[in-house]
Chains A and B, each alone.
Chain A
Amino acid sequence: MIRMSWGHRIPVSIPRFALSCGLAFAFAFASTACGNRAVDERIAALGDEKQGVPVGEFHRPGQPCLLCHGEYLREEPVMVVAGTVYAFPTTDKPLPVKGVTIKLTDSFGETYESGTNCAGNFFVTEAQWKPSFPLRAEMEYPVPGSLGSTKRVVMSTRISRDGSCAGCHIGAPNQGSPGWVTCAEAQQDPPFPAQDPQCPGATATTP
């Protein structure tokens, strides 16, 4: 029983009261000392998983992968570079491209290659490669209608620190983003093939 100075009595034993206070302080400390509110808010803004798309290599195309799979949350697998490649800029639902080879070169000249899956996603894990930023990025995409032929696209600038493509490349081009990572500046003739309907999330890949 705790007797307060103004005479009221609180029916709590002193050890339990001390334990409660300790837990409250510990919770308050943990919730304020270790978090990064700026990143937490960006993660929360990504929303829930799309229905029918299991968590894995096909999920969340077009989103900044390293917000969760980076040095902050370190969700497995921890990635160093990851993103989604689309066919061409559009204000509608962008068309993901499978089979694009991403070639990355770090500041010491080491290179690493990765490829996109049917969701347009690619990723390089920390276990596979630990590059020294800045990175040079280029990609080779399969030219539509031309068997085995590829076309090379080189990124204008270098990746300085954020391994998430969608950290910068998101939505339509504007004064703060060059827009999605795309193979071509417009739809081509013959056109890019439609996404494989068997691909997880093929009906729900709107980023």
Chain B
Amino acid sequence: MPRRNGDNAMNKLTLVLLGTLSLPLLACAGPDPGSEAIVGAPLDINSFRPASAVLERRCGTLDCHGQPARPLRIFGQYGLRRYEPPDSMNVENYAEYYSGGKEPTTLAELEDNYRSILGLEPELTAKVYAKTAAPETLTIVRKARLQEKHKGGLLWNKGDPGDVCLTNWLTGNTDTTQCEVELGHP
């Protein structure tokens, strides 16, 4: 029995629909069990807070990475504050929770800063932490040294206190002495 043109069109439509529906199923499949896990520097508040404080002062100003729309968004006491409602459990003294206020950088803000830094180049950051790649392979390290175009200019040279503070944290070195030195600069 000869097929009608309408049947052919219907079959094609069915195939297209099936194909379209199966795409999301494929996309939602879990990660390859053999894939490499991405492990960057852990979120250890004691070692990260001083490193974050340096980034908050030097990078997280409101006109730069303290802007909500900019990549590597940094929250902090002297820059952009993470949005919190007045009854938030993340804030101790809400009256002082403003840019430049007395409420220190909160744990929630530190966590967000941590994600901002590691989220830039996750795989490479993991390699730097594992010491299979040099810190200067990371954009965040190169931009601060102005080894790569940076609208915010030169923050420090290689080996300066701020640079040592950042690279120490990225490589898992918990010595934060140089962070304190950098923060002591006017």
- Chain A residues packing against B (C-beta within 8 Å): 107, 132-134, 136, 154, 156-162, 167-168, 173-179
Contacts and interface: CB of A to CB of B under 8 A. Distances in A.
Contact of A159 (B63, B68, B155): B63
Contacts of A158: 57-58, 61
A118 to B, nearest CB: 27
Which of A154, A160, A178, A179 has most chain B Cβ within 10 Å?
A160
A175 B80 contact: yes
A161 B66 CA distance: 12
B153 A175 contact: no
A162 B66 CA distance: 12
Contacts of A154: 186
Interface of B: 57-65, 68, 78-84, 97-101, 151-155, 186
A194 B15 CA distance: 80
Given A107-B154, A176-B80, A168 B63 contact: yes
A133 B81 CA distance: 23
A31 B63 CA distance: 27
Nearest to A154: B186
A160 B81 contact: no
A173 B186 contact: no
B153 A107 contact: yes
Contact of B99 (A159, A161, A174): A174
Nearest to B60: A157
Contact of B83 (A160, A161, A167, A175): A175
Given A134-B155, A175-B98, A178-B99, A161 B64 contact: yes
B61 A159 contact: yes
Given A107-B153, A134-B153, A160 B101 contact: no
A177 B68 CA distance: 12
Contacts of B79: 157
Nearest to A174: B98
A136 B155 CA distance: 12
Given A157-B78, A160-B64, A168-B62, A173 B152 contact: no
A129 to B, nearest CB: 15
Nearest to B65: A160
A173 B101 contact: yes
Contacts of B68: 176
A95 B83 CA distance: 30
